[in-house]
Structure 1
Amino acid sequence: MSLLQVSGLTRRFGGLVAVDGVEFNVAEGEIVGLLGPNGSGKTTVLNLLSGALAPDGGSIRFGEHAIHGLAAHRIARLGLARTFQLVRPLGSMDCRDNVIAGLAFGAERRWGSAAQREADDLLARVGLEGRGHAMPGELTYIDQKRLELARALALRPRLLLLDEWLAGLNPTELLEGIKLVQSLRQQGMAILLVEHVMDAIRSLCDRCLVMSAGKRIAIGLPGDVLSDPDVVRAYLGDDHA
């Protein structure tokens, strides 16, 4: 069953067509990689799915709901959460309160001592056990990413959008991050991830969608897609295709 169905998705910025008629789907419990060179439109797609931007054309269905053009908070309450390429913690709030902010605005809003307990559980789940009173500015880069993931998980998403969540990690952190993402899928969560780390793509993804200049140029199994001449050309140029 398709959890997410995207058809003819289009977004323009003046004369630039950043996303040009893109179509794909994500099934329940599936991990799909959204790939492409810089400037290909990947993050714009995530912004359209999450409600940060409204599409100029096409449709987005999430479960039984048409969500294209809905406000971001309404989409989040339906069970679609995301992280950002540049981490965005609430800097004036400690880690626990960052997660409680997610708990307070999800479909099943939690407050008070129950929210505090769940926030601590989510911090432990992403590797930040005992760090609830730490301020985001005190955390390392990877731990700030963990915090943002915990806040997204506070929404209890059916579909999680990860925008280069594994970027910038050292080899040990990367292995930990891959295991964490795998654990989310094992619990039934579907994931759409924008990623440039090929080891992560091969380890995690059931299928990959590749974009170039706003268009979908390939979709399929990771091994097939990564060896596709059009994909090689988009990344490396005609001499390597």
Structure 2
Amino acid sequence: MPEAAEDSRAVRIQGVEFAYPGADRPLLAGLDLALERGELAAVLGPSGVGKSTLLNLVAGLAVPRAGRVEVLGTEVTGLNESKAARWRRGSLGFVFQQFHLLPYLTVSENVALPLALNGQRWEEEAVRSFLERLGLGEQAASYPRHLSGGQAQRAAIARALIHRPPVLLADELTGNLDEETAVAVMDLLVEAVEELGTTTLVVTHAPEVASRSHTRYRLSHHRLHREP
């Protein structure tokens, strides 16, 4: 059974080992990580070292072959698929590298989707107000195809934060953006995280993104190494 207990740490990973089927060597081995509630942490590393896999392990989308993943007092590795899906809807926000906005929904409808999936009542005006805070008020009725890259990324951040999740995961948050837009998007994320107290884990290859975090790690040789 999953465990539940109050702890100052929002995320705790202990001795995790992960390997893809058929791989000769594990992608991650002996990996440990602990994040305090409200902490903004960044994991640096080049493509292919397992940064996205790390996020998937925290989200319960990947299962380690050894070790333990605990988020908000719940042992994620102890959840079956249906329980994991319900837990993710209520506890996590996820910003994907490719945005994954639904093309047939307006920006407002895309952002409100987590509220609908959680069975929460929502009003158009409340969602629009949230979008205005992220500089997207005028795009509320637009469809994703009409957005710039920066606008689409802000919409993805708004969708991830609209239900005020206690934990936010972000995969290469600014990977598809120019430098100026990337800085603006990171500013928005930091502001939102500080306001909501959301524990946030960002994986990135960009030092300028990592520099805005409270703590920084580098993923290499299968493990996380704390940077000064």
**Alignment TM-score, normalising by the size of structure 2:** 0.86
For the residue of structure 2 that corresponds to 1:21, the secondary structure is strand
* Structure 1 residue aligned with 2:147: 139
Shift of 1:159: 1.3
For the residue of structure 1 that corresponds to 2:123, the secondary structure is helix
Residue 199 of structure 1 is aligned with which of 195, 203, 208? 208
**Percent identity among equivalent residues?**
26
For the residue of structure 2 that corresponds to 1:176, the secondary structure is helix
Shift of 1:39: 0.5
How far apart in 1 are the matches of 2:224 and 2:53?
A: 16
* Structure 1 residue aligned with 2:120: 110
Equivalent position amino acid for 1:83 in 2:
V
* Residue 14 (structure 1) aligned with residue 10 (structure 2): no
**Alignment TM-score, normalising by the size of structure 1:** 0.82
User: What is the alpha-carbon root mean square deviation over aligned residues?
Assistant: 1.8
1:52-131 pair list within 5 angstroms:
52-68=61-77, 70=79, 71=81, 72-106=84-118, 109-111=119-121, 114-131=122-139
Large movers: runs of 4+ above 3 Å:
69-72
1:176-187 pair list within 5 angstroms:
176-187=184-195
How far apart in 2 are the matches of 1:217 and 1:156?
A: 28
For the residue of structure 1 that corresponds to 2:38, the secondary structure is coil
Aligned partners of 2:153 and 2:185 also within 8 Å: no
Which structure is richer in relative contact order (CA contacts within 8 A, separation 6 or more)? Answer: 2
How far apart in 2 are the matches of 1:128 and 1:179?
A: 15
* Structure 1 residue aligned with 2:156: 148
Change in Cα spacing, 1:143 to 1:82, as seen in structure 2 (3 Å) is: same
* Structure 2 residue aligned with 1:209: 217
How far apart in 2 are the matches of 1:205 and 1:101?
A: 28
How far apart in 2 are the matches of 1:49 and 1:78?
A: 14
* Structure 1 residue aligned with 2:3: none
Change in Cα spacing, 1:74 to 1:10, as seen in structure 2 (3 Å) is: farther
Q: Which string of whole-angstrom CA distances, capped at 9 and with x for unpartnered residues, describes residues 22-43 of structure 1?
A: 1101111111111112110000
* Structure 2 residue aligned with 1:164: 172
Change in Cα spacing, 1:60 to 1:217, as seen in structure 2 (3 Å) is: closer
For the residue of structure 2 that corresponds to 1:68, the secondary structure is helix
Which consecutive unaligned segments of at least 5 residues does structure 1 have? 222-241
Change in Cα spacing, 1:77 to 1:206, as seen in structure 2 (3 Å) is: same
